[in-house]
Structure 1
């Protein structure tokens, strides 16, 4: 008897045995499981959890984003100027030359000149005080402080501004932390984020 006929006889004898049904069911079940797990992609849909509440951002954290340069309005002066945004500066500063202090009806005022489109414009504001201010070079100098209403985007607020000769600087206005803090988010990659 050849090996192949002996093997076939053994195979049929095995299939006819009592264990054949169990083995057949086991193999079918294993193949089905294998195909389900690896043969096809299953899409598992996660049901929304009713216990998870949506995140609500408080209004105080929804701040307008501004760039490194923005337009600033001064309603009392009827002026609109381009300003440099500087989070490193403690206070705001405006270009001022020919500064004079004067008193009217017991109140102190300051008259000075700034430039709009390279033309001198005379402005007047209430005097607040004289105080030492550190420049970007680290030099401390006395400057006159005024109080003026300033508007950037939709935010309008009275702010203290120091007067400084900014002739050699690119922008007539510098906006510092005393106006920015708590009101804006600054993205230095942007310019005129609030529009023209």
Structure 2
């Protein structure tokens, strides 16, 4: 019985295997045959790209050289007028001389240090002979035509008559032929005084500076810099214009207010005076809290204003033809336009002067420049005592 079962089983296995083979043959599709072309070159790996390595440059030391820097101060203008310092070098081209001058906005005329003055006639015309002192050539004897004489009025003293000559004066780019008074200036610092007859319409005065009318070397220094290879040392010029930034402009005449006393007076702006001056009458010095005080009167709008102030110091005034005068100096608050500051004033009787107040150099220092071509720059003229 087992034998009979084995035969059919073998048959079944054979049939199954045959069926599977038949199914595979019916669905089979052969792939495209690969044909090898012997003429095609054999594939090769492309050569590697050649990289050029630049050599690292050797760092050369920097070319450091020493140069000379020169700082040149250059003149400036304001409102078409040249800014001049309180002191300037002056040329007298007609006489081939140079002198040092002070710019004085308080003086109407210019004056020069002349001594041994003698008047004489030549060809029926008046001439003057004199020695001109403190010039670039020392003392120089001169003879010039006499243009006129002027009388110098001095309060309480006899008027002095002085000869006047014509001189051509050059300051920087400015050239003017002006009348110059001959006077003994031995006791004054400057041999030449330049007044408003030269300054008017040409210049503005800055008391903070000196010798700014022409270009001048103000500083020279050595500086190390990095330069290109082969560059040699050289000189570098740097122009530095004169600066008046932050300074107010005052005219020849300004109203000045004393806020503590509530009075306003007219003042002459005078760069020739060191200390400002105030018209004070009937002065009386007294002690208060063991300190010196002064009581004085100020004529104001037809009335008298009495003031009392502590004395800051005493000022000794020396004049070559008068006795020395000792004046009390006070410190008082002031206001000229937007310029508000405490200032020192020497007290004296100014009855014989046109203006009761004189504003001097110390007041103007670091505060204002002066243009004598203008008046009342701080506003309309206020009522005040002249």
**Same fold (TM > 0.5):** yes
Aligned residues: 140
Deviation at 1:159, TM superposition (A): 1.4
Contact 2:253/2:375 (CA < 8 Å) preserved in 1?
A: yes
Query: 5+ residue gaps in structure 2?
Result: 1-240, 381-386
Match of residue 371 from structure 2: 187
Taking the TM superposition and a 5 Å limit, the aligned residue runs for 1:1-196 are 61-134=245-318, 140-196=324-380
TM (norm. structure 2) is 0.34
Preserved contact between residue 248 and residue 339 of structure 2 (Cα < 8 Å):
no
Say what the alpha-carbon RMSD is for the aligned residues. 2.4
* Structure with more of its chain in helix, by fraction: 1
Distance 1:71 1:161 in 2: 16
Q: Displacement, 1:135?
A: 6.5
Q: CA contact under 8 A between 2:252 and 2:269: conserved in structure 1? A: yes
| 1:184 CA displacement | 0.9
Determine which structure has the larger strand proportion and give its number: 2
Stretches (4+) displaced over 4 A: 57-60, 134-139
Spell out, residue by residue over 1:62-107, the C-alpha distance to the aligned partner (whole angstroms, 9 max, x if none).
Answer: 3221110001111111111111100110010000111011222333
Q: In structure 2, what is the Cα distance between the partners aligned to 1:137 and 1:175?
A: 24
Change (3 A) 1:178 1:100: same
The whole-number CA distance in structure 1 between the counterparts of 2:319 and 2:368 is 23
Larger radius of gyration: 2
- Cα 1:62–1:84, aligned 2, differ >3 Å: closer, same or farther? same
- The alpha-carbon deviation at position 59 of structure 1 amounts to 9.0
CA distance in structure 2 between the aligned counterparts of 1:79 and 1:92, rounded to whole angstroms: 17
SS of residue paired to 1:61: coil
Of structures 1 and 2, the one scoring higher in RCO (CA 8 A, sep 6+) is 1
**Which secondary structure does the structure 1 equivalent of 2:325 belong to?**
strand
Distance 1:99 1:178 in 2: 23
Q: 1:111: Cα distance to partner?
A: 0.6
Contact 2:280 2:349 in 1 (8 A): yes
Partner of residue 33, structure 1: none
Alpha-carbon distance in 1 for matches of 2:318, 2:254? 23
Tell me: CA distance 1:182–1:135, structure 2 relative to 1, closer, same or farther (3 Å): farther
Whole-angstrom CA distance in 2 between matches of 1:63 and 1:116: 30
* 2:189 corresponds to: none
Q: In the superposition, relative to structure 1, how do residues 110 and 76 fare at CA in structure 2: closer, same or farther (>3 Å)?
A: same
1:139 and 1:103, CA in 2 relative to 1: closer, same or farther beyond 3 A?
A: closer
Q: Structure 2 vs 1, CA of residues 153 and 118 (structure 1 numbering), >3 Å: closer, same or farther? A: same
